[in-house]
A and B are shown apart, each in its own frame.
Chain A
Amino acid sequence: MSEAVLSLRGVTKRFGGLIAVNTIDFQVRPGQVVGLIGPNGSGKSTTLNLISGALPLTEGEIHLRGSTISGLRADKIARRGISRTFQLVRLLPSMTVEQNIIAGAVFGHRRRWGAEARQEAARLVERVGLVGKGNMAVGQLTYIDTKRVELARALASDPTVLLLDEWLAGLNPTELQVGIDLIHSLRDEGRTIVLVEHVMDAIRSLCDYCVVMSSGAKIAEGTPSQVLSDPEVIRAYLGDDDA
């Protein structure tokens, strides 16, 4: 087994009295797609926020390729090679699709400017399925296209680890298949991805490994089929009464 690219050790986040993330440990290996799953409010987004530096940790450590990134500012972490999308899509409203993508290419892990950055944006426009929409204002886009722009922006810095927070949520059944295929193609490219997801089909077809959270704690981990048949996971998803 190769060395972990990303590892979380004893990661904890408290909001006042609430322990949103409780001493979580897990590792992500190069080229792996790891699913972070669990019921609503179980601490998945908070975990991503801790990895990307959107929030400071209360306790624990996060390492990227062996060096500590916990405690760094979000921009430093982005430069070290972590990029992300957000559960509620965040685009730059005053800019075009192309400019939104360039925004990801200039200051991050891999930095480009001018013609080089525009070239990369053009490549990504095609890569995520936005052909012909590069000059559109982001306000004119359909929902799935906004998600595509955000994904392209995250990819523009050629990140070591890509974090996707419910990238497939809110898509209709046809769009969902397109979306799953798109993430699948990233996986085939060898990208290392941590994705938070509720869609079971997506988890089954995309993830090599799953970490299951409930009320902030890790309650199971393993391959998708292992964790999805784990009685404790089923109980967490369905509630105690139905177990």
Chain B
Amino acid sequence: MIAGKELQGVIVATILLLIAGALPYYGSDYLLSLGITIAMFTVLATSWALFSGPTHYISLATAAFFGLGTYTAGLGIETLPFWVLIGLAGVLGAGLAALVGLATLRLSGVYFVIFTLGLAELVRQVITWGQNMTGQKGLYVLTDFTEANLYQMLVALGAAVFLVGWLINRSRLGFALRIIGDDETVAAHSGINTALAKVLLFMVSGAVAAMTGAILAPRYVYIEPALAFTPLLSFQVVIMALLGGVHRLWGPIVGVIPFTIILETISANFPNQVTLFIGIVFLVIVYFIPRGFAGLIEQMRDWSRSREGLT
């Protein structure tokens, strides 16, 4: 059953999605390139928040999954159709997430953060080693895809992420995760298999990040481990998601858009100040907007409603 307010949300989301998806038909090349970056971070941050929002586990593994996807596409591009490679990247991402999740999600949050940070480095080292063995340095990913093609694939993946997130939120699994986030002991004593619930969501976010990496591989043309597994990506995703707010499905995107635009401007004009900017945003989140822009927006809405109620 879909309630009236939810139906409204679905309609608004669909319209926004169509406007976003049509960008190649009305936007400039610059806008399209910015659009790819925004779409990429929207997909990554939203799927990251699906897992980290309710569980409060901070994952820094995005780069590992993303790089895995990029390499899946890079290695298979000569032999398999691209859509098969995207699917394969998703399966491999989910598999890697399951392995990592089973090994670490029983541990407390701190160990999880450190392990996920190390994971990207580990996968990168394995691939570098593999390349050294075969005497390669990087991979060429040559396709006929245009920027517009890749952008629309990302938007489609984004739509799928929102749909899956919406379905999860309404499901028992989503409810279980909210209970786990509130009190894991209560969750277990209520009959929830807490490890399984966390691993399932982590698999979703791992699969999505890997698929994003696969879609973007043709854009890089030439991929090498340092590019595909850059740890900065993991941090950017965390910060954008927190900036937007992880307690709402639509939260991350309201962080991604302003952050990406400002970051692009800064890296074009003051390339050395990028890390400084990320650091400042992080401090602002921690000290001033712990619930992100989504929290602020909701606060303002409640405030204006209560004022309307008074007059």
Q: Please give me the residue from chain A that is nearest to B186 by CB atom.
A: A90
Contact flags A62-79 to B (C-beta < 8 A → 1, else 0): 000000000001110011
Within 8 Å by CB of A106, from B172, B189, B193, lies B172
The answer for the CA separation of A157 and B189 in the assembled complex, in Å, is 11
Instruction: Tell me which of B172, B181, B191 has the highest count of chain A C-beta atoms within 10 A of its own C-beta.
Output: B191
Does residue A237 face the partner (Cβ distance < 8 Å to B)? no
Interface residue range, chain A: 20 to 34
Does residue A12 face the partner (Cβ distance < 8 Å to B)? no
B278 → A minimal CB distance (Å): 29
Interface of A is mostly: loop
Number of interface residues of B (CB under 8 A): 18
Within 8 Å by CB of B179, from A73, A86, A103, lies A103
Residues in B whose Cβ lies below 8 Å from that of A13: none
Does residue B192 face the partner (Cβ distance < 8 Å to A)? yes
Interface of B is mostly: helix
Q: Which of A92-100, A118-126, A211-219 contacts B (4 or more CB under 8 A)?
A: A92-100
Tell me whether A75 and B192 are in contact in the complex, defined as CB-CB below 8 angstroms, given that A103-B175, A107-B176, A113-B172 are known contacts.
Answer: yes
B225 → A minimal CB distance (Å): 39
The answer for the CA separation of A136 and B186 in the assembled complex, in Å, is 20
Tell me whether A92 and B183 are in contact in the complex, defined as CB-CB below 8 angstroms, given that A103-B175, A106-B172, A107-B172 are known contacts.
Answer: yes
Inter-subunit contact B182/A95 (CB<8 Å): yes
Inter-subunit contact A108/B182 (CB<8 Å): no
Tell me whether A104 and B185 are in contact in the complex, defined as CB-CB below 8 angstroms, given that A94-B178, A95-B178 are known contacts.
Answer: no
Instruction: Tell me which of B185, B187, B188, B190 has the highest count of chain A C-beta atoms within 10 A of its own C-beta.
Output: B190
Residues in B whose Cβ lies below 8 Å from that of A47: none
The answer for the CA separation of A108 and B176 in the assembled complex, in Å, is 12
25 contacts between A and B (CB under 8 A): A54-B185, A74-B188, A74-B189, A75-B193, A75-B194, A78-B189, A78-B190, A78-B191, A79-B191, A84-B189, A90-B185, A90-B186, A91-B186, A93-B183, A94-B178, A94-B181, A94-B182, A95-B182, A102-B175, A106-B175, A107-B172, A108-B190, A109-B191, A153-B186, A153-B190
Interface residues of B (CB under 8 A from A): 172, 175-176, 178-179, 181-183, 185-194
Interface residues of A (CB under 8 A from B): 52-54, 73-75, 78-79, 83-84, 86, 90-95, 102-104, 106-109, 111, 113, 153, 157
Q: Which 3 A-B pairs have the closest CB atoms?
A: A107-B191, A108-B191, A92-B182
Inter-chain pairs besides A75-B189, A91-B186, 8 sampled, C-beta below 8 Å: A75-B187, A79-B191, A83-B190, A86-B185, A92-B178, A93-B182, A104-B190, A108-B191
